[in-house]
Amino acid sequence: MTKITRRQFVRNTMVGMGGVVVSAGLATTMTGCALDELNKARFMHGVASGDPLTDRVILWTRVTPQEEHIDKVRVYWEVSKDEHFRKMVVTGTAITHVDKDFTLKVDIVGLKPGRKYFYRFKTVNHVSPVGTTKTIASKDVEQVKFVVVSCSNYPAGYFNAYQQASQLEDIDASLHLGDYLYEYARGGYASEDAAALGREVLPDGELLTVNDYRQRYAQYRTDPDLQAFHQAFPMIAVWDDHEVANDTWKEGAENHDDATEGDFFARLQAALQAYAEWMPVRPRVDTDVASLYRSFQYGNLVNLMMLDTRLVGRDKQLSLTNYFDAAGNFDIQSYFSDINNPNRTLLGTNQLTWLTQQLASDAKWQVLGQQVLMGKMELPGAIATAQLTIPEFAELAAIAQLAQTNPGALTPEQLQLLQEKGALLQLPSLPYNLDAWDGYPVEREHILQTARANQSNLVVLAGDTHNAWANNLVTQAEQASVGVELATASISSPGLESFLGLDTPQAVLQTEAGVVQLIENLQYANFSDRGFLTVTFSQDQVTSNWTYISDIKSKDFTVLAARNKQIVVTDGSNQIA
């Protein structure tokens, strides 16, 4: 089989991904397309809008033909100032094809800044649900409010968090930070209860081809809670790794094997074609990359920069396990040499240059919407390398302290433990997750130093880990706090409570407190709850609210008020007090 080059992949992926562009104020029609001539088709996958600007927004839907032989369908749409469609702004028609999986995007231009609009689609015999969207405000803006989500795993449980979030008011846009879906086969990751819940994935194999990815998107988009979330407000989305395969980087992925699964770039092309078809994003073509990084400026208040930390530039992740020799000794010198290599990149040269320029914006808040944790999440080396658990480390450290102050009080068992494992206490602090910014510290330092030089109010939003976090972002050179990081919990993917086996509320609370104490700049963590994050920006402060739900295994759920959390960061402080 002929391998696809990166440039061929970009060309093939981006061809034909554009939507129909329509100006507001024009009743756009096509010759011979009276409503009674439209093909019969249903709207089974809801509606969505996305990538709002001051004068335009993407509208999305998909139709399901009612006859198998149909290869194209004519669709009619309406945009109105009111939900009853009495004050029409623009109407029009377009044709969608089987080659686009019967998805349709319309880029409505000529809209007014900061306005709410209602939209719907029609075929000859069906009308879609009504969606609500909103353009970006311009000039002087008093408030911007986002709802931030990530990591929605269909077989893991119900999308109750989407349902709860869809009821929010005064939202300017939802920010989806990736892992919108997962590529695993039936019975794979987080599927223990899938059959009982009626949420086994389609297709049943791992996603490899464009039709595989399309079928998985189609299944997700039949979920009523996800449909409600899309209908409620425009979405600004970026991909993470699972839209392709676990731990993706620019030339491969941990969950991809060329020998058994074919060429990686063929799979990548398939995944991104389906993403472009099914997600309400405005495609863009650069000279040599299929890029999704872009910015959205909300007047003088917020400059939102959406990053691609996965596909466009990421070098392959390092792994701590590769630095142990056969005797179990950790090669500290080689590790620090590799991790601090100035040529290692997460964003790639072009994206980093663009971001550096964007951070000079005159907006009050510089906001990065991206996937992986930027905060320094360093743990004692024995914990980071999984040689000791947190309780085991605490016990060993206490024994070592006792050996210093009162060695005669040591029991034989304590003495033996200290002799066998005491050397682990001497390992340096190490990051536990080299897939995050901790694996690319030189580039992170460049971004933080840029924010410091610009005296920016920097706010970094993150997903990926399935857990909620709040960090102060501190430069390596000066140990200066130059911004904050706010990370959302997952919609349904399991968190550290599953990985660490934290099976009681007390164990969860103790571990959360222990990790916050161990990591210097970590201010908050939630390891067990699913939910979402709302972030409200004003001229004086940014207010973040984490909302958690009680259950994803039942549709009967409540909001966990006792676990909800609010953090306020004031203008100019660049830190969580």
Predicted confidence pLDDT, tens digits, the chain (577 residues): 445 555 555 555 544 455 566 656 433 444 444 444 457 899 999 999 999 999 999 999 999 998 888 899 999 999 999 999 999 999 999 999 999 999 999 999 999 999 999 999 999 999 999 999 999 999 999 999 999 999 999 999 999 999 999 999 999 999 999 999 999 999 999 999 999 999 999 999 999 999 999 999 999 999 999 999 999 999 999 999 999 999 999 999 999 999 999 999 999 999 999 999 999 999 765 444 468 999 999 999 999 999 999 999 999 999 999 999 998 889 999 999 999 999 999 999 999 999 999 999 999 999 999 999 999 999 999 999 989 998 899 999 999 999 999 999 999 999 999 999 999 999 999 999 999 999 999 999 999 999 999 999 999 999 999 999 999 999 999 999 999 999 999 999 999 999 999 999 999 999 999 999 999 999 999 999 999 999 999 999 999 999 999 999 999 999 999 999 999 999 999 999 8
Q: Is residue 303 situated within a structural domain? A: no
Q: Is residue 60 situated within a structural domain? A: yes
Q: End of a domain among 80, 112, 135? A: 135
Q: What are the two backbone dihedrals, phi and then psi, of residue 49, each rounded to the nearest 5 degrees?
A: -135, 160
Distances (CA, A) of 289 to 58, 88, 267, 465: 22, 39, 16, 27
**Please, what is the Cα angle at 214 between 163 and 63, to 5 degrees?**
70
pLDDT of residue 67: 86
Q: Structural domain tally of the chain?
A: 2
pLDDT of residue 72: 94
Question: Residue 178 and residue 493: Cα distance in Å, rounded?
Answer: 12
Q: End of a domain among 396, 411, 426? A: 426
Domain that includes residue 394, residue range: 386-426
Q: Is residue 468 situated within a structural domain? A: no
Q: Is residue 80 situated within a structural domain? A: yes
**pTM strictly above 0.85:** yes
Strand partners, 106: 20, 59
Task: Pinpoint the alpha helices (H) of 186-311.
Answer: 194-197, 210-220, 224-232, 258-261, 264-278
CATH number for the domain including 30? Answer: 2.60.40.380
Tokens of 382: 């024995």
Question: Residue 9 and residue 4: Cα distance in Å, rounded?
Answer: 6
The dihedral through the CA atoms of 487, 493, 496, 497 has a sign that is positive
pLDDT of residue 4: 55
With a CB cutoff of 8 Å and minimum separation 6, the contacts of 566 are 543, 544, 545, 546
pLDDT of residue 370: 99
pLDDT of residue 291: 83
Tokens of 220: 């997700």
Q: Is residue 538 situated within a structural domain? A: no
Q: Is residue 410 situated within a structural domain? A: yes
With a CB cutoff of 8 Å and minimum separation 6, the contacts of 260 are none
**DSSP H or E run through 430:** strand 430-431
pLDDT of residue 161: 99
Would you give the DSSP letter of residue 302?
A: E
Q: Report CA dihedral (136, 138, 141, 143) to the nearest 10 degrees.
A: 0
Question: Residue 430 and residue 383: Cα distance in Å, rounded?
Answer: 9
Question: Residue 512 and residue 528: Cα distance in Å, rounded?
Answer: 9
Q: Collapse the DSSP code of 179 into the 3-class scheme (helix H, G, I; strand E, B; otherwise coil) and give the result.
A: coil
Cβ distance 574 to 185 under 8 Å?
no
Strand partners, 472: 484
Question: Residue 353 and residue 305: Cα distance in Å, rounded?
Answer: 13
Tokens of 369: 């919407």
Residue 308 burial by Cβ neighbours in a 10 Å radius (0-12, 13-18, 19+): buried
Q: End of a domain among 94, 113, 135? A: 135
pLDDT of residue 15: 42
Q: Is residue 116 situated within a structural domain? A: yes
Tokens of 178: 């990736």
Task: Pinpoint the alpha helices (H) of 174-223.
Answer: 194-197, 210-220
Q: Is residue 407 situated within a structural domain? A: yes
Helix axes 390-405, 412-421, angle to 10 degrees: 110
Question: Residue 475 and residue 157: Cα distance in Å, rounded?
Answer: 39
